[in-house]
Amino acid sequence: MPDFTKTAVVAQDAAVAAEIAPQPAKPEKARSLWGDAWADLRRSWIFLISSALIFILLLITFFPGMFTGTDPILGDLAKNYLQKPRLGNIGSPDWLGYDQQGRSVYARVIYGTRASIAVGFGTTLSVTLLGGVVGMIAGYFGGVVDAVLSRLTDVFFGIPFLLGTMVVLNSFQDRTTWVVIGALGFFGWTQIARVMRGAVITTKQSDYVQAAKALGASTPRVMFRHILPNTLAPVIVVATISLGVYIAAEATLSFLGLGLTGVSWGNDISDGGNQIRVAQWIMLYPSIMLSITVLAFIMLGEAVRNALDPKMR
């Protein structure tokens, strides 16, 4: 008869050996460029700080009533004319003082955030769409199409950005947010177009693009399915950095009297310049908020550039 006890012992020893034997490591799933970028961003202190600042700015933009209940337009001239800040009363209307019309500087700083952020995001979206389309068409088709669009881009690129915007805005009496966005976007799309054109020219030579064409993929499918996703990284970097630039441009135009006609940091800085000897706080606090906002978006763009550019790692 077979020795069942010996067979059981051998089987048990084999099972124990299999358990203690090192198991082959499971291959890790390869991460995409966006996955690597997100992993780098989560470890970047520049990204974390800038994201926190932008989150607070967005809260102020969409929910200004959470931060102040004071009307930024109405003021009591007889009671609050050039009243100095009372820094101990954090969050109160007199925290940052009053201007020459008796309006709360704190309330105007809070509501001025909405105008600057709206112009910055609106202009960035418009120039990204317009410049991206022009750059993609020029880079993909080449030849005469590329030559015409490139020369058109050079013409707009040769026009001074602020000067051209000032000329356009000077023809409008009521300069609303949409008017300022349109004027800034009309002259600001050239850089995005150049970046997109260069990325498309490089990407369209790739093997997967040539394979898609050989399999009979239509031109729109090749452009939007295969080329566009692989050319967005440099465009996103430029757009993120440019957002802060457009916010500063809007404040500059408002300071010169050619920007928004409503509550704006640039308007308050301009008004405070006339009272700088007796009421420095009127232009000081809008200037600080403007600097923090522009710095936050530039820091965010720098962090995104470092994450999306493999050469920066």
- HEC string for 223-242: HHHHHHHHCHHHHHHHHHHH
Among 25-29, 40-44, 215-219, the range with the most confident prediction by mean pLDDT is: 215-219
Indicate the pTM of the whole model: 0.81
According to the model, what pLDDT value does residue 148 have? 93
Q: Which of 237, 254, 232 is nearest to 298 (CA)?
A: 237
Q: CB within 8 A of 41, min separation 6: which ones? A: 47, 303, 304, 307
- Other Cβ atoms closer than 10 A to 1: 3
| Among 116-130, 192-206, 267-281, the least confident range | 267-281
More confident residue, 292 or 39: 292
Give me the mean pLDDT over the 87-97 stretch: 77
**Domain boundaries, given as residue ranges, for the chain:** 31-312
Note the helical H segments in 81-176: 105-141, 143-158, 161-169
Instruction: Find tokens 């440019």 and name the residue.
Output: 242
Q: What CA–CA distance (Å, rounded) separates 160 from 77?
A: 41
Q: Which of 115, 136, 133 is nearest to 125 (CA)?
A: 133
Q: What CA–CA distance (Å, rounded) separates 23 from 284?
A: 65
State whether residue 17 is helix, strand or coil. helix
According to the model, what pLDDT value does residue 131 have? 92
Q: How confident is the model at residue 40 (pLDDT cuts 50, 70, 90)?
A: confident
Q: Which residues of 270-284 are buried (b: 16+ CB within 10 A; e: fewer)?
A: bbbeeeeeebebbbb
% helix, strand, coil for the chain, step of 5:
70, 0, 30
According to the model, what pLDDT value does residue 313 have? 53
Q: Which residues of 2-28 are buried (b: 16+ CB within 10 A; e: fewer)?
A: eeeeeeeeeeeeeeeeeeeeeeeeeee
Q: What CA–CA distance (Å, rounded) separates 32 from 26?
A: 18
More confident residue, 75 or 193: 193
What dotted CATH number matches 31-312? 1.10.3720.10
Long-range contacts: 89-98, Cβ < 8 Å, 24+?
A: 91/67, 93/68, 96/281, 96/285, 97/279, 97/281, 97/282
The total number of residues written for the chain in this structure: 313
Please spell the DSSP secondary structure of 149-175, one letter per residue.
Answer: HHHHHHHHHHS-HHHHHHHHHTT-SS-
Give me the mean pLDDT over the 166-186 stretch: 89
Residue 279, by phi and psi: left (phi above 0), alpha (psi -120 to 50) or beta?
beta
What confidence tens digit (pLDDT) does each residue in 258-285 have?
Answer: 888 888 888 888 888 777 787 888 888 8
What residues are paired with 98 via a beta bridge?
A: 104
Instruction: Find tokens 């800038």 and name the residue.
Output: 50
Q: Which of 113, 126, 234 is nearest to 184 (CA)?
A: 126
123 burial type by CB count under 10 A (0-12 exposed, 13-18 middle, 19+ buried): buried
